[in-house]
Amino acid sequence: MRLFDKLTGTKRPADGVPSRSAAEVHTALLGPNRPDVPYVVRDGRQEGADLVAEWRMLEPAWQMFFSRTQVSRVFQVRMRLVPEKNEVRSLDQEYEVRWVNGVAALSITAEA
């Protein structure tokens, strides 16, 4: 662990774990996507990122699932791959969820 890792939120692999190429990491992060899971990892170019991971709160097929549990906060993770440094940089955004007649309404909070 380096001096500022805890302050910056940096997580490093264990000694001896080889680095992967940006293409391998990109493919691996897209790997868990399936229609039967309540999250998606998708292309994030429109948000200025390489990838975005988020809950499927607003998809009709998943609204009943989230409505039953009355989720009050959800996160979106924007990821940028930095091949020169073998890094994935991320920004977490938190959204507050309000339920109106079983339909979710998301609003971003001030924290990021």
List, as one string, the DSSP characters of 74-101.
EEEEEEEEEGGGTEEEEEEEEEEEEEET
Task: For the chain, 112 residues long, give each residue's pLDDT as a single digit of tens.
Answer: 677 888 888 888 888 999 899 999 999 999 999 988 999 999 999 989 999 999 887 787 887 787 777 777 888 999 999 999 889 999 988 888 777 776 666 666 655 4
User: Coil, strand or helix: which one is 57?
Assistant: coil
Domain ranges for the chain = 18-108
Amino acid 112: pLDDT = 45
Helices (H), 1-112: 5-8, 22-30, 60-69
pTM of the model: 0.78
